[in-house]
Amino acid sequence: MDKEAAAQQIAAITKSLEDAQKDLRLYASAIENGSGTDLESIGKVSSTHTNLIASVRNLNRSARGPVDMVFAQIEAVAYTGAVRALVEMGIFEALPLDGSSLSADVLAEKLDVEKDLLVRLMRVAIPELFAEPKPHEYAHTPYSMVYLHPGIRGAFKLMLGEYTPVFNQLSEFFKSNGWKSPQDEHNNPYTFTHRTNGLTMWEHVKLDPVYFADWNAAMNAQGLATSFAISIFPFHSELSKLETTEASMLVVDVGGGLGHATMQIKGLIGDVKGKVILQDRPEVLDDIKEDLGAGIEKMGHDFFTPNPVKGASIYYIRRCLHDWNDAKCIEILKNISCSMTEKSRLLIAEIALPTTGVDVEGAWMDLTMMSFTGRERTEEQWAGLLTAAGLRLEKTHGLAGTHYGVVEAYLK
């Protein structure tokens, strides 16, 4: 690199560092001055944290330069591959939880693995994940201990086991099937990569009970991680405007899974009289082990059939529609709209992407959904689906710093 090019790089690094420092101060201020519990504070913290991450990524890009950033992608692949191997090896469970260290010799004997292999894998994962207080001696850090959480472990194994190979095969799929978004549940990047022999993604993941347990843990963890978005819609203030009785159908949670969102909605409704219905397929409802609480009723229902509850105040569907292509979404929405009255409203709790400036999470989530014909959608795309199902978009409720929101719709 000549002096002029080096000077330009130093200037770029300096500017990126200044931007990162500025965004760090804003993030710290949001934490210090916010309550941490109300939506405005949560949104401010989320927004400033997102900006800080973007600045740090830009600083890393400036420091590495164009050529080295190409090799950064190789590093990332090697790192995640090594971590996945270490997960399967059992290193996370083998290390002491009190932060003390174990030598490679002890770990190799304990896990019945070759010491040389363990050392080679661990050198990739240090210092991002584990600590190495002495040569070939390893200890947990907060960044490694998080992998012991079943939901985090499941999400990691899901993305590395199922979707990393899919992402690597995207170009081959599109070269074979045309450069357009996939629409066929039986022929898409997922089924192409995993050679599912005619099975859909949903059918394929159920073949291995152990893996399916990891898959469910990952889905539940993601649902809980984004549960803050449920309170974006003002359930209590809107429902308290209605004259209701104990028999009134207040909220029908369509495809509500194990009921975590349903219970949160019930809490947000507060003292408004009426019923909350949790709907999902009977085999899903059979897996519910905890008491959902008073005022919540379970009802077996497949959302590809007309909704049996007529005239509810709110039909609520969360993190379901992004799994499906437009045609399937319209079918699901029609099966809800046919049971609505002019006083009913539909709430779709999903990501609502902006037309530009999509954050990292929104972008990779969309590619993940695309792999089996789903997608994350913009407000305009949500409006198009609603119109096709006989509904109209009234408003999109959002929160600063995140693309998660609630799309509110009524009958036309």
The pLDDT mean for the chain works out to 94
Q: Is 359 a residue whose pLDDT tops 90?
A: no
Distance CA 71, CA 286 (A): 48
- Which pLDDT belongs to residue 228? 82
Confidence band for 212, pLDDT divided at 50, 70 and 90:
confident
**Active centre residues (catalytic):** 322
* Mean pLDDT in residue range 310-334: 97
Q: What is the pLDDT of residue 21?
A: 98
What are the sequence ranges of the domains in the chain? 3-145, 155-222, 231-411
Q: Does residue 224 carry a pLDDT above 80?
A: no
Mean pLDDT along residues 352-379: 94
Q: What is the mean pLDDT of residues 125-142?
A: 96
DSSP state of 231: G
182 Ramachandran zone, left/alpha/beta (phi>0; psi -120 to 50): beta
CB neighbour burial string for 145-156, b if at least 16 within 10 angstroms, e if fewer: bebeeebbbbbb
**Distant-in-sequence, close-in-space partners of 191: CB < 8 Å, separation ≥ 6:** 185, 199, 200, 201, 204, 372
Can you give the pLDDT at residue 49? 93
Q: Report pLDDT digits (tens) over 134-193.
A: 999 999 999 999 999 988 888 888 888 788 999 999 999 999 999 999 999 999 999 999
Q: Note the pLDDT of residue 355.
A: 92
Put residue 112 in one of left, alpha, beta given phi > 0 → left and psi -120 to 50 → alpha: left
Instruction: Residue 5: count other Cβ atoms within 10 Å of its Cβ.
Output: 10
CA distance 115 to 259: 46
What is the distance between the alpha carbons of residues 263 and 322, in angstroms, rounded to a whole number? 22
Percentage with pLDDT > 90 across the chain: 83
pLDDT band at 222 (very low <50, low <70, confident <90, very high): confident
Report pLDDT for 161.
79
Among left, alpha and beta (phi > 0; psi -120 to 50; other), residue 125 is alpha
In tens, the pLDDT along 18-73 reads: 999 999 999 999 999 988 778 888 889 989 999 999 999 999 999 999 999 999 99
The mean pLDDT value for 105-112 works out to 98
- Strands (E) across 159-304 are located at 249-254, 275-280, 296-300
For domain 3-145, the CATH architecture is: Orthogonal Bundle (1.10)
Considering the four listed CATH numbers 3.30.70.260, 3.40.50.150, 3.20.20.80, 2.60.120.1130, the one that applies to the domain covering 231-411 is 3.40.50.150
Give the global pTM.
0.87
What's the token pair of residue 230?
């449920």
